[in-house]
Amino acid sequence: MNRIITQLVALASLGLISAFAAPLHAQQSNEMQASSNVIGDIEFDWGRDGVPCASCNFGESNDRFNWTDRLNNLWVGHIDPVTGVFTPPEGENEQPDIYAFFWSAWGNGPEWAFSTVNGQIQSDLVYSRFKPGEKAVAGWSGAAWATMVNGVWVPNFLPGAFVSGESGGAGNSALPEASQCLTDPNVAYNVYQNLATPQQMFTDAVSGTGEPTETPFGAYANGIGERFVPCAHDANSPVGGTRWLTFQGNAPPNAKGNVYQQVFWYDLDTGHVQQLTTEPSGKQRGLMFLAPELLNSPLNPNMGTAFPYVLLAVSANEAVYIYIQSGTNANGSPIMTLINTISSPEAEEPYIFDPKPFINCTPICQTYFAYSVSKTSSSQNGITIPNGLAVANINPAAPINKLLVSGQQLPAQQRLDPKFFITTQNGPQVYYNLINVETKKQKYLNLGTWYINMELGAPTGDCVGSSPLEGLNTNLLAFDPMCITP
């Protein structure tokens, strides 16, 4: 028995620690601790794409992350863009608000909103807020926005998103989700839901002015899967900027009478809605973006030389489906064709959840996604089933799919809500909440935020900064052969 274990046994015998306290964390793979704080639902600023900007956001940089604590504080922490270390580990560098719902209250926390204002990229926040001085309950909830004014965070409700009173109905709202195109002119956009029955959903500008516009899909959208398609809009859009989004909702019954959740497309300018996926399986985590490695791909022969739109979605918790645009419908929506099905690389953990796509250029640009794998389809909804992490790329012509860490290893642990950050020195890292699961011999224990180097190479070349979430780098959009030709 080594000295540390001897000391633990002695302390337990004195009642100073539980005899069944969680064991010391045995480092698996190349797992590293970023913070001992429980930083749930972390979201990174646009520095995650591998392009640090120390002067951005009034000198606060773009190498940041947001999170909320259980005391309703909204925090912004900082990260070293070279190494990926949190500076400091607590993640409490900036405090935009003290009236923010904890992320689990609604199932999603704060999100970044990006646009270019007066020639500078502006990083704002959208989140669920409650009325100052009142309780953090639905009756006082409203979709909110925080922006920096002369280097100081200023929080407020979005116009029309909050009506005073404890109705918890049409006058109250939650779960805003923002557009994240770095080149959107002057303002980002957001979508949020009210608390009426049936649910209504609205879109609006992320600003102190404007009027929310009701969407036609509120009653059947799932209310949490809405995502803007970065920088996407019809050529005839009078506004420009990001004007498309995808969402998940129940489709009409199929020929056999079965109802499946599918991915839909919505155009903010025309109001058109289009169902994109049709296979007889439930879909979630739908994301649409441009994929550089599929330019001129024989998989989309009808699209000419334009970068094709790609749709990524989880099917029945068993596979990630990759679709490519193969044409355009009369209403302007993309026709999506399934081209790749990606399963877990570990037979013992066949179920998949939480894929997060990113583009890494070394200098050829490839689209990857980090994701979770587990032996059950709902491990993330409880505290007893461990899970692992993997990373794959989307290109069926040159597949990569590798396990980063197995959930079958001991101690039994969950790794939840993976998010990526591309460091300049070590390339893409995946960050997650690490938890010792509850067993007969081990208590549930949250170990804070950890990360793994995915070993995909340090970013190099002119097209670093391209992203499936923020849009493609201007050099890549100019078809730089150094970025797209293997």
| 3-class SS string, 31-89 | CEEEECCCCCCCEECHHHHCCCCCCHHHHCCCCEEEEECCCCCEEEEEECCCCCCECCC
Beta strand 189-194 with 201-205: parallel, antiparallel or unpaired? antiparallel
- Residue 413 in any domain: the answer is yes
The pair of structure tokens assigned to 366 is 């490839």
Amino acid 18: pLDDT: 33
Amino acid 303: pLDDT: 58
Amino acid 142: pLDDT: 95
- Residue 337 in any domain: the answer is no
The pair of structure tokens assigned to 20 is 């069944």
- Residue 352 in any domain: the answer is yes
Domain holding 437, by residue range, is 26-30+347-486
Structural domain count of the chain: 1
- Residue 371 in any domain: the answer is yes
- Residue 448 in any domain: the answer is yes
Is residue 181 within 8 Å of 242, Cβ to Cβ? yes
What is the DSSP code string of 2-25? Answer: -HHHHHHHHHHHTTSS-TTPPPPP
- Residue 399 in any domain: the answer is yes
Percent helix, strand, coil in the chain, to 5, is: 10, 40, 50
pTM metric for this prediction: 0.92
Q: Convert 401-430 into a string of H (helix), E (strand) and C (coil).
A: EEEEECCCCCCCEEEEEEEEEEECCCEEEE
- Residue 55 in any domain: the answer is no
Please list, residue by residue across 367-406, b when 16 or more beta carbons sit within 10 angstroms of its beta carbon and e when fewer do: bbbbbbbbbbeebbeebebbbbbbbbbbbeeeeeeebbbb
- Residue 79 in any domain: the answer is no
CA dist 362 and 456 (Å) reads: 9
Q: Each residue's pLDDT tens digit in the chain (486 positions)?
A: 443 333 333 333 333 333 333 333 334 568 999 999 999 899 999 999 999 999 999 999 999 999 999 999 999 999 999 999 999 999 999 999 999 999 999 999 999 999 998 899 999 999 999 999 999 999 999 999 999 999 999 999 999 898 766 656 667 999 999 999 999 988 899 999 999 889 999 999 998 888 899 999 999 999 999 999 999 988 778 787 899 999 999 999 988 999 999 999 999 999 999 999 999 999 999 999 999 998 877 776 655 567 889 999 999 999 999 999 988 999 999 999 999 999 999 999 999 999 999 999 999 999 999 999 999 999 999 999 999 999 999 999 999 999 999 999 999 999 999 999 999 999 999 999 999 999 998 899 999 999 999 999 999 999 999 999 999 999 999 999 999 988
Q: If you search the block for the tokens 């306290």, which residue do you land on?
A: 21
Task: Work out the burial of residue 151: count CB atoms within 10 Å of its CB; fewer than 13 is exposed, 13-18 middle, 19 or more buried.
Answer: exposed
